[in-house]
């Protein structure tokens, strides 16, 4: 489904109440296989250098024009789209990620949570659950969860101490050094925004409120950065191209309507420019033009999974599900590691209305759920497949899973109960229905709560 865009007005409102200038442009979280892949390519080596297991660190993309990056509830890193857009080089973005990884390595966010009081743990977990539900294509539930987690706002207004900032800088430099990368980006990013030091607190980008910038800090950073950079490899062309493609995609999908035309004039024949124009045409519902432009992209890079994904998305969204299958299938062949691409293909196969396609759709959804067990949209689609196959007990169970991962425990309980009545308790599915019933049972929930909080997370580790 390409760049899955979710606008969260209630979240923005909830956060607005807390910190008006800071969150005015906050709109929610987005998922996109390509952008996630690129960010992983930048971040994973740094996580490894920090002794972290990359698969244990979640990266969330926040649709927000302001500059910000933060870590929350342990190993969860949030990057604003504004940060990606304002990074002039991959080295700048990697520098910020290295610094944030430094906060994880230094245990700073944990210290903060402790300082925020005992209650904060629960609301951060709630936020995480909301984030996961949102990712899975269920903005309503996520909206409710986010609305109940005002600490999301707090996470961006707390301030690291100067000691913590300096420690995170030094850790970040170490991780860059270990991966043979230049520290120039971290320094140039700070220098580019050092004017914010002179601005009043409320006018600064959130990043420079939580991570106070100062001349002393930049000076300390620069000294060691020179040594790190002297030993580094030059930035790869590949990384540079990927940043440009990521920006083009973001401008195309979430930028203001006229931004593509101004940033990528017709004379610009680069691949990112063509990409941005294809997406802009799709957004403007000019299907013919967007298909022409996307076909041109595919002719330039026939093996780019995300060009096929875009074409599949355009066709599917314009009511041509069967026609979208070959491109979605190609995207899965080219990038089999992405659950989101498998779900796209499954959705198109379901959309053909041909029952002969259901078995393949089921296999794809099972594969996707193997990669992302908490993907509630995949559960939703699986329920559709089972219902059409007449497997009503399995369909009820899949609906219970969907509701569970969206955080709607009342609905999860209803459907898990129905599923258990139809399935044999001795089978894995029957057992699973019983488990969801226990986890979502209203008698086990705190009064006045429709969600599971910690119990909700326990199941997600499966
Ligand atoms: Zn910091």
Taking the domains of the chain in order of start, what are their residue ranges? 9-230, 239-460
Region 161-188: mean pLDDT is 94
pLDDT given at position 406:
78
Q: Report which listed range, 35-44, 65-74, 372-381, 447-456, is most confident.
A: 35-44
Whether 140 has a pLDDT exceeding 90, the answer reads no
Q: Calculate how far, in angstroms, residue 230's C-alpha sits from the geometric centre of ligand 1.
A: 24
Mean pLDDT in residue range 253-264:
90
Residue 209 CA to ligand 1 center (angstroms) comes to 10
Q: Pick the more confident residue, 219 or 329.
A: 329
Q: In the prediction, which pLDDT does 60 show?
A: 84
Q: In angstroms, what is the span from residue 332 Cα to ligand 1's centroid? A: 38
Separation of CA 443 and ligand 1 centre (Å): 43
Residue 93 CA to ligand 1 center (angstroms) comes to 14
Of 156-160, 191-195, 348-352, the least confident: 156-160
- Ligand 1 center from residue 151 Cα (angstroms): 18
CA 244 – ligand 1 centroid, Å? 25
Mean pLDDT for the stretch of residues 439-460: 52
The position carrying tokens 């109440």 is 17
User: Scanning the structure block, which residue is given the tokens 């244990």?
Assistant: 56
Whether pLDDT at 449 is above 50: no
Query: Where does the pLDDT of residue 208 fall: very low under 50, low under 70, confident under 90, or very high at 90 and above?
Result: confident
Q: What separation in Å is there between the alpha carbon of 100 and the centre of ligand 1?
A: 6
In the predicted structure, residue 174 carries a pLDDT above the cut 70: yes
To the nearest whole number, what is the mean pLDDT of the chain? 81
More confident residue, 174 or 198: 174
| pLDDT at site 447 | 53
Distance of CA 305 from the midpoint of ligand 1 (Å):
35
Percent of the chain scoring above 70 in pLDDT: 79
> Mean of the pLDDT values across residues 120-130?
33
pLDDT at 53 over 90: yes
For residue 170, the CA-to-ligand 1 centroid distance in Å is 11
Range 308-313 average pLDDT: 94
State in Å: Cα 103 to ligand 1 middle: 7
User: What per-residue confidence (pLDDT) applies to 407?
Assistant: 80
Distance 18 CA to ligand 1 centre (A): 22
Report how far ligand 1's centroid is from the alpha carbon of 59 (Å): 17
Residue 94 Cα to ligand 1 midpoint, Å, equals 14
Q: Mean pLDDT throughout 197-218?
A: 81
**Cα of 206 from ligand 1 centre, angstroms:** 11
Q: CB under 8 Å to 127, separation ≥6 — which residues?
A: 72, 73, 145, 146, 149, 151, 152
Place of tokens 């489904």: 1
Give the pair of three-digit tokens for residue 350: 């379901």
Q: How far is the CA of 156 from the centre of ligand 1 (A)?
A: 11
Average pLDDT over residues 320-340: 96
- For residues 296 and 300, what is the distance between their CA atoms, to the nearest angstrom? 6
pLDDT at 286: 93
Distance, CA 164 to ligand 1 centroid (Å)?
Answer: 7
Ligand 1 centroid, distance to 71 Cα (angstroms): 10
pTM of the entire predicted model: 0.82
Name which residue leads in pLDDT, 107 or 330: 330
* Interval between CA 340 and ligand 1 midpoint (Å): 32
Distance 142 CA to ligand 1 centre (A): 28
- Tell me how far the alpha carbon of residue 215 lies from the centroid of ligand 1, in angstroms: 15
Enumerate residues 6+ apart whose C-beta is below 8 A from 32: 2, 3, 4, 61, 249, 340
pLDDT value at position 120? Answer: 35
Q: How far is Cα 409 from Cα 392, in angstroms, rounded to an integer?
A: 20
What are the structure tokens assigned to 59, written together? 């990266």
Given this model, what pLDDT does residue 385 score? 98
- Burial (Cβ within 10 Å: 0-12, 13-18, ≥19) of residue 47: buried
Q: What is the pLDDT of residues 83-92, one digit of tens each?
A: 999 999 999 9
- Condensed to tens digits (0 to 9), the pLDDT of residues 58-74 reads 888 887 888 888 887 67
Instruction: Supply the pLDDT for residue 251.
Output: 93
- What is the distance in A from the centroid of ligand 1 to the CA of 169? 7
Tell me how far the alpha carbon of residue 284 lies from the centroid of ligand 1, in angstroms: 39
Task: Report pLDDT for 72.
Answer: 74
Report CA(33)–ligand 1 centroid distance (Å). 27
pLDDT at 78 over 50: yes
Least confident among 31-40, 54-63, 301-310: 54-63
Whole-number Å distance, alpha carbon 328 to ligand 1 midpoint, is 40
For residue 444, how far is its CA from the centre of ligand 1 (angstroms)?
40
- What average pLDDT does the segment 174-194 reach? 93
Q: Which residues pair with 63 in a beta bridge?
A: 28
Position with higher pLDDT, 56 vs 349:
349
pLDDT of 14 reads 28
What is the average per-residue pLDDT within 416-438?
A: 94
Residue 446 confidence (pLDDT): 60
- Structure confidence at residue 119 as a pLDDT band (50, 70, 90): very low
Q: How confident is the model at residue 28 (pLDDT cuts 50, 70, 90)?
A: low
> Which pLDDT does position 73 carry in this prediction?
67
Judged by average pLDDT, the poorest of 139-153, 281-295, 357-371 is 139-153
Mean pLDDT of 125-140: 37
CA of 20 to the centre of ligand 1 (A): 22
Distance of CA 97 from the midpoint of ligand 1 (Å):
10
What's the pLDDT at 30?
A: 77
Assign residue 180 a region (left: φ > 0; alpha: ψ between -120 and 50; beta: otherwise): left
Q: Are 231 and 180 in contact (CB under 8 A)?
A: yes
Q: Is the pLDDT of residue 402 over 80?
A: yes
The total number of residues written for the chain in this structure? 462
Mean pLDDT, residues 342-350 taken together: 95
pLDDT for the residue numbered 452: 36
Tell how far the Cα of 109 is from the centroid of ligand 1, in angstroms.
10
pLDDT of 431 reads 95
**CATH 1.20.1060.10 is right for the domain spanning 239-460:** no
Ligand 1: distance of its center to the CA of 192 in Å?
A: 16
Task: Using pLDDT thresholds of 50, 70 and 90, give the confidence band for residue 323.
Answer: very high
Q: What is the pLDDT of residue 158?
A: 61
Q: What is the mean pLDDT of residues 427-454?
A: 75
Do the Cβ atoms of 383 and 376 come closer than 8 Å? no
φ and ψ of 334, to 5 deg = -80, -25
């Amino acid at each position: 489904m390409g760049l899955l865009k979710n606008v969260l007005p209630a979240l923005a409102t909830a956060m607005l109440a807390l910190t008006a200038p800071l969150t005015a442009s906050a709109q929610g979280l987005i998922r996109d296989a390509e952008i996630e892949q690129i960010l992983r390519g930048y971040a994973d080596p740094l996580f490894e250098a920090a002794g972290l297991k990359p698969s244990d660190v979640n990266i969330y993309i926040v649709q927000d024009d302001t500059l910000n990056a933060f870590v929350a509830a342990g190993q969860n890193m949030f990057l604003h789209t504004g940060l990606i857009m304002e990074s002039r080089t991959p080295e700048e973005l990697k520098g910020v990620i290295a610094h944030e990884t430094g906060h994880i390595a230094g245990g700073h966010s944990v210290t903060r949570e402790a300082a925020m009081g005992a209650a904060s743990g629960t609301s951060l977990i709630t936020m995480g659950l909301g984030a996961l539900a949102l990712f899975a294509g269920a903005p309503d539930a996520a909206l409710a969860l986010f609305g109940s987690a005002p600490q999301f706002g707090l996470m961006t207004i707390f301030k690291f101490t100067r000691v913590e900032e300096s420690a995170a800088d030094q850790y970040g430099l170490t991780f860059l050094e270990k991966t043979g990368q230049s520290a120039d980006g971290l320094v140039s990013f700070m220098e580019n925004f050092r004017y914010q030091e002179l601005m009043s607190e409320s006018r600064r980008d959130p990043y420079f409120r939580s991570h106070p910038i100062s001349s002393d800090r930049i000076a300390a950073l620069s000294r060691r950065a020179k040594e790190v950079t002297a030993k580094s490899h030059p930035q790869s062309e590949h990384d540079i191209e990927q940043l440009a493609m990521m920006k083009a995609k973001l401008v195309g999908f979430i930028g203001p309507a006229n931004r593509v035309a101004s940033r990528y004039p017709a004379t610009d024949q680069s691949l990112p420019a063509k990409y941005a124009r294809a997406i802009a045409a799709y957004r403007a519902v000019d299907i013919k033009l967007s298909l022409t432009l996307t076909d041109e992209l595919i002719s330039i890079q026939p093996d780019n999974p995300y060009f096929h994904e875009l074409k599949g998305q355009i066709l599917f969204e314009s009511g041509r599900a069967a026609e979208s299958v070959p491109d979605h299938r190609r995207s899965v062949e080219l990038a089999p590691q992405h659950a989101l691409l498998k779900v796209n293909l499954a959705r198109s196969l379901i959309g053909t209305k041909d029952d002969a396609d259901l078995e393949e759709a089921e296999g794809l959804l099972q594969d996707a759920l193997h990669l992302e067990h908490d993907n509630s949209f995949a559960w939703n689609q699986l329920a559709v497949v089972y219902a059409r196959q007449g497997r009503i007990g399995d369909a009820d169970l899949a609906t219970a899973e969907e509701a569970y991962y969206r955080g709607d425990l009342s609905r999860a309980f209803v459907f898990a109960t129905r599923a258990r009545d139809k399935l044999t308790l001795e089978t894995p599915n029957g057992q699973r229905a019983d488990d969801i019933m226990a986890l979502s049972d209203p008698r086990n929930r705190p009064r006045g709560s429709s969600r599971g909080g910690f119990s909700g997370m326990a199941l997600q580790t499966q």
